[in-house]
A and B are shown apart, each in its own frame.
Chain A
Amino acid sequence: MTETTATLPETRLTFPRKYVPVAVTAGLFVAMLVAGGIRYEGFASGQVVLNVFVDNAFLLVVAVGMTFVIVAGGIDLSVGAVVALSTMISASLLADPGLPAPLVIALVLAAGSLLGLGMGAVIHYFEIQPFIVTLAGMFLARGLCYVIGTESIPITDGTFTAVADARIELGAGMWISPSVVIAAVVVLVAGYVLHYTRLGRAVYAVGGDRQSALLMGLPVARTTIAVYTISGLCSALGGLLMSFYMLSGYGLNAVGMELDAIAAVVIGGALLTGGSGYLVGTVLGVLVLGLTQTILSFEGTLSPWWTSIFIGLLLFVFIVLQRFIGVRRTRGGAPVATAA
């Protein structure tokens, strides 16, 4: 679908139409930065922007996985629960049998991928809506958290605390955490996979029109299962980053994170019908969400629940905007079926 738009002769607009949603998000991010810098003392420093990355590294990784799923026309509601499960598995394995950190990290990543793989397989082979399957996956993962333990488990392992305390100095008093570096690597790798490989192309094709993709001979089964596996892997990694950040495992971690991830992807310009969206948009979406929280904390007098009202408002504005930009695609105001 995006390819068709690109080849249309654009006589008046020199800016490709497909980049408009991403450009709007980028514009909003810059506007928020400028507005914050004018309004608040000490806002316009590099560290404030870097802190947005530091505080949202795990959300960024989770949203990257969600981008794959949404571009492929699906949805993954289990990500928050998988993040919580990952913090729980790593905390309990480090505490009780005292397994070495690299082994724990490998196990957590394998568990997340396996869960994603299972959900993808059920979605594809049994033709059950992704919404319901990942919902069951969410219950399963949260349930497993409670089976491991209902209390918060602290992490005292040397490797984990070392990563948590590490600061990478960037000069001029600015620093980032190793999690930011990991998140950046994930974004770069995912960007390469989504935009420059056969798998990425198949993801867009399956999201655009599953039937056509099948008729074109693209590996629909492999692609569908792959996106959920990627999402599971990203959620597990996000969970590890969260355990670095919080140094504990808890079954109620990351409640509602799936909404934040979906919101970030949508604000980044991806359509939930699938087949369109960019990874850079998702990164900008996460930054806008993070900056919203920063601004509200700078404001001070506003209650924390304004965050969710503001995010809802942002979602509304962006969705209506998308609706009018993409009005050529779906004419007539007919509702689009939710489950792809």
Chain B
Amino acid sequence: MSQERNLARALTAHRLFWPVAVLVALLVLNVVFTDGFLTVQMRQGHLYGSLIDILRFGAPLILVALGMTLVIATGGIDLSVGSVVAIAGALACLRISDLTDQGSVTGVLAAVGVALAVALVLGAWNGVLVSVIGIQPIIATLILMVAGRGLAQLITDGQIITINSAPYKLIGGGYWLTLPFGILVVTALVALTGFLTRRLALGMFIESVGGNAEASRLSGIRSSGVLIVVYTFCGLCAGIAGLMISSNVSSADGNYAGLWIELDAILAVVIGGTSLLGGRFSIAGTVLGALIIQTLTTTIYSIGVTPETTLLFKALVVTLVCLLQSPSFRRKAFRRRARPAPPPPAPADGPSDASVSDVTAGEGREETVRNR
């Protein structure tokens, strides 16, 4: 009996427990409300189904959140990803619309190359501002967030550029080996990042810079180099996401492409259990977080909540997940209960248990386990 309880406790204390629980809850909700939600069909050599759609439409968000995870792990934040998404999409579409033959593979590759190069440069610019000049990340990236929208509109001249290019369409809307191409790109990048950060020392460097940049510099890690690499990578991820988004709709909109994606990405990272204070990160958590956000959007449509209340629903879920992850909330809310129960999600009920702050020995241990 006590062994079972220990197992349950170890399970709930795991970093990925709450994200997985929320995702499963959302999926169950969908299964209840939608017939054949879990079926995946093979049609004309392509895989179709609600689950595939969640992955396909969630791909850009996973990418942006992936870059954001590493940035947040260094104790930073990148607000400019939405602008980079818009700029990359706008540049690629502009180049392709200038081609005489929009179907030419080399032309599309050149356009994609230019867009990604610019995304890299923009990411590196953020990295230099943060590491060399030493500006707070939130401010340094705010500059590009504000100016970037203007740049994207400057590129598109305030218009929506529409293109008709089969090779470009592949990136965000096409299929390859029965799977949507976007999913393959995301899988490859997530695997590559996982390898670079968890099998090589890079991940440890990133976490140590996030823990204490000055101490890591003194212990021989080139903090500024790590920071520039991380922000550049984040720019690249945003650039690829921008290509996917614009390719999926075959057009570039400087104003609305990637609008508020930075907020969704940051949410995905936080839901995934990466602390905004830096020093540790979880790539699996981020992927889960991004999937939760995408599933949430799908759920909202499938259970018949009006699209207008999407944001309200999102706010409630975000509040719920963040509260569940806050050690201080769990301490206060679950103090007298043997088993965790869902807390009230309304943000305004904070002051009611204001005076409760003592920690029992059991919860203290749980927190230690969690922080490991």
Measured CB to CB, the residues of A under 8 A from B are 75, 114-115, 117-119, 121-122, 124-129, 131-133, 135-140, 142-144, 146-147, 150, 221, 259, 262-263, 266, 272-273, 303-313, 315-316, 319-320, 323, 330, 332-339
Contact = CB atoms under 8 A, between A and B. Distances in A.
A313 B312 contact: no
Most buried by B among A140, A304, A310: A140
B345 to A, nearest CB: 10
Contacts of B267: 132, 135
26 contacts: A125-B350, A126-B323, A126-B326, A126-B329, A127-B326, A135-B266, A136-B318, A142-B311, A146-B311, A147-B312, A266-B142, A305-B254, A308-B149, A309-B150, A309-B151, A312-B145, A313-B147, A332-B134, A332-B214, A334-B134, A335-B74, A335-B213, A338-B136, A338-B137, A338-B138, A339-B276
Contact of A122 (B77, B153, B350): B350
B142 A259 contact: yes
Contact of A319 (B135, B227, B354): B135
A335 B154 contact: no
Interface stretch (B25-33, B125-133, B166-174): B125-133
A305 B348 contact: no
Given A132-B276, A133-B322, A150-B308, A335 B136 contact: yes
B315 A139 contact: yes
Contacts of A308: 146-147, 149-150
A259 B79 CA distance: 11
B134 A323 contact: yes
Contacts of A146: 308-312
B144 interface: yes
A259 B135 contact: no
Contacts of B153: 303, 305
A272 B141 CA distance: 13
Given A121-B354, A122-B323, A305-B150, 17 more contacts: A122-B350, A125-B351, A126-B328, A127-B327, A127-B328, A128-B323, A128-B326, A262-B142, A263-B146, A305-B153, A309-B150, A312-B147, A332-B217, A335-B74, A337-B277, A338-B75, A338-B76
Interface string B139-161: 11011111111110110011000
Given A135-B263, A308-B146, A335-B75, A121 B348 contact: yes
Nearest to B259: A255
A138 B139 CA distance: 19
A276 to B, nearest CB: 13
A128 B266 CA distance: 14
B239 interface: no
B95 interface: no
A233 B266 CA distance: 27
Contact of B310 (A143, A307, A333): A143
Contact of B348 (A114, A127, A262): A114
Contacts of B12: none
A335 B227 contact: yes
Interface string B294-332: 000000000000001111111110110011001111001
Interface in B97-148: 130-140, 142-148
B146 A312 contact: yes
B142 A122 contact: no
Chain A interface, DSSP helix/strand/loop, else mixed: helix
B276 A131 contact: yes
Contacts of B45: none
B146 A319 contact: no
Given A143-B309, A319-B140, A125 B328 contact: yes
Interface size class of B (residues with CB under 8 A): 35 or more
Given A137-B315, A272-B136, A333 B131 contact: yes
Nearest to B72: A338
Contacts of B138: 75, 131, 272, 338
B292 interface: no
B314 A139 contact: yes
Contacts of B214: 332, 334
A307 B146 CA distance: 10
Contacts of A315: 139, 142-143, 146-147
A336 B136 contact: yes
B154 A133 contact: no
A339 B137 CA distance: 10
Nearest to A332: B214
A304 B149 CA distance: 11
Nearest to B153: A305
B346 to A, nearest CB: 8
B224 interface: yes
Most buried by A among B142, B311, B348: B311
Nearest to A320: B133
Contacts of B234: none
B350 A118 contact: yes
A75 B266 CA distance: 15
Nearest to B350: A121
A213 to B, nearest CB: 18
B80 to A, nearest CB: 10
Contacts of B134: 323, 330, 332-335
Contacts of A263: 142, 146
Most buried by A among B74, B138, B254, B328: B138
